[in-house]
Amino acid sequence: MCSTDPKTCSPNISAWSLSRTAAPLGLFYLTEVLVGLTDLAVVGALGPQPLAAVGLAKTVVLAFLTIGGGVLSAALIFMAEDPAPERRSALARASILIALGFAALGFAVHWTMLALLPPAGYAPDLVAHYRAYGDVMVWAVAPALGLAICKNVLNAVGRTGGRASSPSSPPSSCWAISGSASC
- Cβ proximity of 95 and 72 under 8 Å: yes
- When pLDDT is cut at 50, 70 and 90, the band that residue 121 belongs to is very high
The string over 89-98, giving b where at least 16 C-beta atoms fall within 10 Å of a residue's C-beta and e elsewhere, is: eebbeebeeb
Highest-pLDDT range among 16-25, 52-61, 122-131, 154-163: 122-131
Residues 125-160 pLDDT 10s: 999 999 998 998 888 888 888 888 887 777 777 655
| Whether pTM exceeds 0.85 | no
Q: Domain extents for the chain?
A: 44-178
- When pLDDT is cut at 50, 70 and 90, the band that residue 71 belongs to is confident
pLDDT surpassing 60 at residue 110: yes
- Cβ proximity of 154 and 163 under 8 Å: no
- Cβ proximity of 39 and 54 under 8 Å: yes
- Cβ proximity of 110 and 64 under 8 Å: no
